[in-house]
Structure 1
Amino acid sequence: MPTVLWSANPTASVPTASAEDLGTSSGDDKKTPQVVVNPADIPPLGVPIDTTRRYFWEKAKPVDLDAIATQPSVYDDPALAVKYRPRADWENIHRFDPLARWTWREEKALVRKIDVRIFIFTCVAFMALEIDRVNLGQAVSDNMLTDLGLTTNDYNLGNTVFLLSFMCAELPSQLVSKWMGPDRWIPMQMVLWSVVAMCQYKLNGRTSFLVTRALLAILQGGFIPDMNLYLSYFYTSAELPIRLSRWWATMTFSIILGAFLAFGILHLDGHNGVEGWRYLFLIEGLITLVVGVSALYFMPPSPTQTSGFPRGKKGWFTEREETIIVNRALRDDPSKGSMHNRQAITPRLLYHALRDYHMWPIYAIGLTFQMSMGPPTQYLTLSLKGLGFTTFQTNLLIIPTYVLSMITLLLGTLFAGWSGRLALNGLIGQFWALPCLIALYCIDTTTANKWVVFALVSILLGYPSNHSVQVGWASRNANTVRTRTVSTAMYNMCCQAGGVIYSNIYRADDAPRYRRGNRTLIGLNVGVIFLYVAVHFYYRWVNARRDKIWNAWTPEEREHYINTTKDEGNKRLDFRFDY
Structure 2
Amino acid sequence: MSTYTEGKVDHEHNSSSSDVEKNKSYPVHEEINSIDESLTKPDPKNPFLDRKVAEHYRQVYEESQYECRGVFDPHFTWDPAEERKIVRKLDYRVALSACLMFCALQVDRGNIAQAVSDTLLQDLKLTTDDFNTGNTIFFVSFLFAELPSQLISKALGPDIFVPIQICLWSIVSLSQGWINNKASFYATRSLIGILEGGFIADLVLWLSYFYTSKELPIRLSWFWSTLSLVSIAASLAAFGILRLKGHLGLAGWRWLFIIEGIFTLLVGIASFYLMVPSAVQTKSRLHPKSWFTDREAKIVVNRVLRDDPSKGDMHNRQGLTPKMIWKSLIDYDLYPIYALGLFQYGPALVLETYQTINLRELGFSTLNTNLLTIPSSVISIIFLLLITWLSEKVNNRALLCLSLPIYAIPLMGVIAFWEGTMTNKWGTYTLITLMVGAPYIHAILVAWVSTNSNSIRSRSVASTVYNISVQIAAIYSKNVYRSDDAPIYRRGNMQVFAIAVAILPLIIIAKFYYIWRNNRRDKIWNAMSQEEQEDYINNTTDEGNKRLDFRFVH
Specify which of 55, 68, 90 is matched with residue 82 of structure 1. Answer: 55
Give the distance between the partners of 1:219 and 1:486, measured in 2 at CA.
Answer: 18
Letter of the 1:551 counterpart:
N
Count of aligned pairs? 532
Give the distance between the partners of 2:109 and 2:312, measured in 1 at CA.
Answer: 34
Residue 383 (1) aligns with residue 378 (2): no
Can you give the 5+ residue segments of structure 1 that lack an aligned partner in the other structure? 11-31, 49-70
Corresponding position of 1:487: 462
Letter of the 1:378 counterpart:
T
Corresponding position of 1:440: 415
Residue 280 (1) aligns with residue 253 (2): no
Give the distance between the partners of 1:288 and 1:34, measured in 2 at CA.
Answer: 46
Cα deviation digits, residues 88-131 of structure 1 (max 9, x gap): 52222222222322111211111111111222111111011101
Go from structure 1 to structure 2 and tell me whether the alpha carbon gap of 1:321 and 1:528 turns closer, same or farther (over 3 Å shift). Answer: same
Residue 343 (1) aligns with residue 338 (2): no
Corresponding position of 1:133: 109
Contact 1:248 1:468 in 2 (8 A): yes
Contact 1:166 1:217 in 2 (8 A): yes
Corresponding position of 1:157: 133
Letter of the 2:97 counterpart:
F
Corresponding position of 1:91: 67
Contact 1:437 1:460 in 2 (8 A): yes
Go from structure 1 to structure 2 and tell me whether the alpha carbon gap of 1:293 and 1:518 turns closer, same or farther (over 3 Å shift). Answer: same
Give the distance between the partners of 1:241 and 1:281, measured in 2 at CA.
Answer: 32
Corresponding position of 1:73: 46
Corresponding position of 2:13: none
Letter of the 1:79 counterpart:
K
Query: Which deviates more, 543-552 or 489-498?
Result: 543-552
Give the distance between the partners of 1:240 and 1:416, measured in 2 at CA.
Answer: 10
Residue 252 (1) aligns with residue 253 (2): no
* Partner SS, residue 153 of structure 1: helix
Specify which of 331, 339, 351 is matched with residue 356 of structure 1. Answer: 331
Corresponding position of 1:394: 369
Go from structure 1 to structure 2 and tell me whether the alpha carbon gap of 1:123 and 1:420 turns closer, same or farther (over 3 Å shift). Answer: same
Cα distance, 1:402 vs structure 2: 0.5
* Partner SS, residue 465 of structure 1: coil
Cα distance, 1:436 vs structure 2: 2.0
Give the distance between the partners of 1:434 and 1:72, measured in 2 at CA.
Answer: 39
Corresponding position of 1:35: 30
Contact 2:217 2:391 in 1 (8 A): no
Give the distance between the partners of 1:311 and 1:365, measured in 2 at CA.
Answer: 41
Please give the TM-score of this superposition, normalised by the length of structure 1.
0.88
Residue 304 (1) aligns with residue 299 (2): no
Cα deviation digits, residues 516-572 of structure 1 (max 9, x gap): 111111122212212111111111111121122222333333223223322111111
Corresponding position of 1:458: 433
Residue 476 (1) aligns with residue 471 (2): no
Go from structure 1 to structure 2 and tell me whether the alpha carbon gap of 1:328 and 1:447 turns closer, same or farther (over 3 Å shift). Answer: closer
Go from structure 1 to structure 2 and tell me whether the alpha carbon gap of 1:36 and 1:371 turns closer, same or farther (over 3 Å shift). Answer: closer
Contact 1:180 1:342 in 2 (8 A): yes
Corresponding position of 1:238: 214
Letter of the 1:35 counterpart:
E
Residue 104 (1) aligns with residue 77 (2): no
Please give the TM-score of this superposition, normalised by the length of structure 2.
0.92
* Partner SS, residue 544 of structure 1: helix
Give the distance between the partners of 2:380 and 2:343, measured in 1 at CA.
Answer: 19
* Partner SS, residue 62 of structure 2: coil
Contact 1:5 1:37 in 2 (8 A): no
Give the distance between the partners of 2:93 and 2:346, measured in 1 at CA.
Answer: 36
Cα distance, 1:42 vs structure 2: 11
Corresponding position of 2:175: 199
Cα deviation digits, residues 357-378 of structure 1 (max 9, x gap): 1111111111111222222111
Give the distance between the partners of 2:29 and 2:392, measured in 1 at CA.
Answer: 40
* Partner SS, residue 87 of structure 1: helix
Corresponding position of 2:14: none
Contact 1:182 1:301 in 2 (8 A): yes
Give the distance between the partners of 1:272 and 1:293, measured in 2 at CA.
Answer: 28
Corresponding position of 1:54: none
Cα distance, 1:72 vs structure 2: 4.2
Letter of the 1:82 counterpart:
E
Contact 1:179 1:343 in 2 (8 A): yes
Go from structure 1 to structure 2 and tell me whether the alpha carbon gap of 1:42 and 1:216 turns closer, same or farther (over 3 Å shift). Answer: farther
Give the distance between the partners of 2:284 and 2:446, measured in 1 at CA.
Answer: 33
* Partner SS, residue 449 of structure 2: helix
* Structure holding more helix per residue: 2
Cα distance, 1:445 vs structure 2: 4.8
Percent identity of the aligned residues?
Answer: 46
Can you give the 5+ residue segments of structure 2 that lack an aligned partner in the other structure? 10-26
Contact 2:52 2:537 in 1 (8 A): no
Give the distance between the partners of 2:531 and 2:240, measured in 1 at CA.
Answer: 70
Give the distance between the partners of 2:416 and 2:79, measured in 1 at CA.
Answer: 57
Residue 509 (1) aligns with residue 484 (2): yes
Letter of the 2:55 counterpart:
V
Give the distance between the partners of 1:503 and 1:144, measured in 2 at CA.
Answer: 18
